[in-house]
Structure 1
Amino acid sequence: MNNLQKFGGIAALLEATIYVSAFVFFGAFWNYPTDADSVQKFAFLAENQITLSIVNLIMYVLFGIFLAVLVLAINERLKNITPALSQIAAIFGVVWVGLVIASGMIANIGLSTVLQLSIADPDHAMTVWQAIYAVVEGLGGGNEVVGGVWVLLLSFAALKSNEFSNKLNYFGIFVGTIGIITVYPADVLTEIFGISQIVWFLWLGLKMLAEPDKQEDISNEN
């Protein structure tokens, strides 16, 4: 097994870890005062700015970096048998990388900007923050269409290439389909996609670490 496949497997496991950490953080530790007024909300954000900025960096930017490694590793593994399908999948994977990283950068710069605005006009700053939040959600939080297309296409490519396992690939088709359906704005769909993708990342990572690249083995034998 070459180093790229090993790095890809590790990256997939780290992706799942980041997903779980984000669920735990926002579910158990993040007590944003949704019913408070603008002044109280910004006081909370100012008090927790460093923590939220670090979480955004991990949840978006670091996730995107690991995702780039995984996209490259999977494309390398599938491209010999399904060049067209795997390359189209890789394009969507790369686009998803860019969207996720951009989301994190916009979230952190936007947070810093609105905290400065809130000193003079909290209500106006809240309007700006809601607009920024909508952009972040549209790019990489509440809409998982691009990621869903990537998972769906690479799962079809893996089925055709006889890579990984049929159970994993069919599960990937399910995950990808849910991701595409999140074009409909419903929190439950995003949550299903997130939870199912945790399982998919873990399963995929273990497969990549446990099973060598079949095409590489064939090339080495020749």
Structure 2
Amino acid sequence: MKTNIEQKKKMSGLQKIGGVAALTQAVVYLVAMVLFLGILIPAGYGTSTDPIQNVAFLADNQTAVYTVNVLIYVASSVLVAVLALALYNLLKANSPVLTQTATVFGLIWAGVLMATAMIASIGLTTVVDLYGQDPAQAASLWMAIEVVQDGLGGGTEIVGGIWVLLASLAALRTGVFPRILNYLGAVIGAAGIVSVVPALGGLVDLFGLGAIVWFAWLGIVLLRTSPSALEAQQTRQKPAADQAST
């Protein structure tokens, strides 16, 4: 009896931590959007057709660009990893295979975000140092770094899309969370996946905007719904899921 109580308390703690991580991730996305659209881009970040001028902007605003990179990628990496593990604990009982697969992609995405942060940060410092010696070479190096950075995250969201899609499908199967929330996750997850197609690259913006809503809504649900209520939802859904699998 004592073991069951302790286990429920542990699961409750993980659920609340996941809720905080989800809400914080939504805030991170919003703040990053404001910084890019409201400050950096109007100030000239990446807007010139001359690569040397773009690098000159980086040299003049190195601290601001570095701060934004850390906020977007480092913070997001940690928050996604925490949320992926919290969702795993909630969903694994009734949909183990789908949940395990989703969690793998969630942790991969967290790793990709951290790798992007390191490349962007070290690349920025290297380019700014090189700019004082050879502006043309610094511009060429920065263009190469941007290609790698976009390939890992930003230009496409295939890994994050797979995680959001699979986690939403697992939640649908287990009966956890509002169905509309799960459908929203499936849609934006699919948008992230197909953004890898060049002709559909614009859907990466849909993924980003939709993810803000998904993270915020998911965080609210995790924080406001008691673990016993979520467990009851899974119990009610389990007979239907078992019947569908037979």
Aligned to 1:194: 208
Q: Does 1:137 align with 2:155?
A: no
- Distance, in Å, in 2 between the alignment partners of 1:6 and 1:71 is 13
Larger radius of gyration: 2
CA distance in 1: counterparts of 2:229 and 2:98, whole angstroms:
16
The TM-score normalised by the length of structure 1 is 0.93
The aligned counterpart of 1:112 is 125
Pairing of 1:85-124 with structure 2 (within 5 A): 85-124=98-137
Task: State how far apart, in whole Å, the 1-side matches of 2:35 and 2:84 are.
Answer: 26
Q: Which has the higher contact order (CA 8 A, sep 6+)?
A: 1
Counterpart in 2 of 1:66? 79
Moved more, 139-148 or 40-49: 40-49
Whether the aligned pair in 2 keeps the contact of 1:38 and 1:122 (CA below 8 Å) is no
The residue that corresponds to 1:149 in the other structure is 162
Please state how far the C-alpha of 1:37 moved relative to its aligned partner. Answer: 3.9
**Matched AA of 1:140:** G
Q: How many residues align?
A: 218
Given the alignment of the two structures, is residue 20 of structure 1 paired with residue 11 of structure 2, yes or no? no
For residues 33 and 136 of structure 1, the distance between their equivalents in structure 2, rounded to whole angstroms, comes to 14
Task: Report the Cα offset of residue 51 of structure 1.
Answer: 1.2
> Post-superposition shift, 1:114?
1.0
**Residue 217 of structure 1: how far off its partner (Å):** 5.0
Q: Please give the alpha-carbon distance, in whole angstroms, between the structure 2 residues aligned to 1:33 and 1:111.
A: 13
SS at match of 2:123: helix
Q: Say if 1:85 and 1:157, in contact at 8 Å, map to a contact too.
A: yes
**Unmatched 5+ stretches in structure 2:** 1-10, 233-246
* Alpha-carbon distance between aligned partners in 1 of 2:83 and 2:49, rounded to the nearest angstrom: 41
User: How high is the TM-score relative to the length of structure 2?
Assistant: 0.84
Q: Deviations over 1:93-117 (max 9, x none)?
A: 0000000111011101001111112
Larger deviation, residues 178-187 vs 13-22? 178-187
Hey, which bits of structure 1, 4+ residues long, moved more than 6 A? none
The Cα RMSD (Å) is 1.7
Q: Is the 8 A contact 1:80 1:215 kept in 2?
A: no
Against the structure 1 CA distance between its residues 160 and 198, is the aligned structure 2 distance closer, same or farther, given a 3 Å change threshold? Answer: same
| Inter-partner Cα distance in structure 1 for 2:194 and 2:46 | 30
In structure 1, stretches of 5+ residues that fail to align are: none
Do the aligned residues in 1 keep the contact of 2:156 with 2:201 (CA within 8 Å)? no
**Does the CA-based 8 Å contact 1:151-1:173 persist in structure 2?**
yes
Are the equivalent residues in 1 in contact too, given 2:176–2:230 (CA < 8 A)? no
Deviation of 1:40 (Å):
3.4
Name the counterpart of 1:29: 39
Q: Which of 197, 202, 205 is matched with 2:219 structurally?
A: 205
1: CA distance between counterparts of 2:163 and 2:51? 39
Greater Cα offset, 26-35 or 194-203: 26-35
- The residue number in structure 2 matching 1:7 is 17
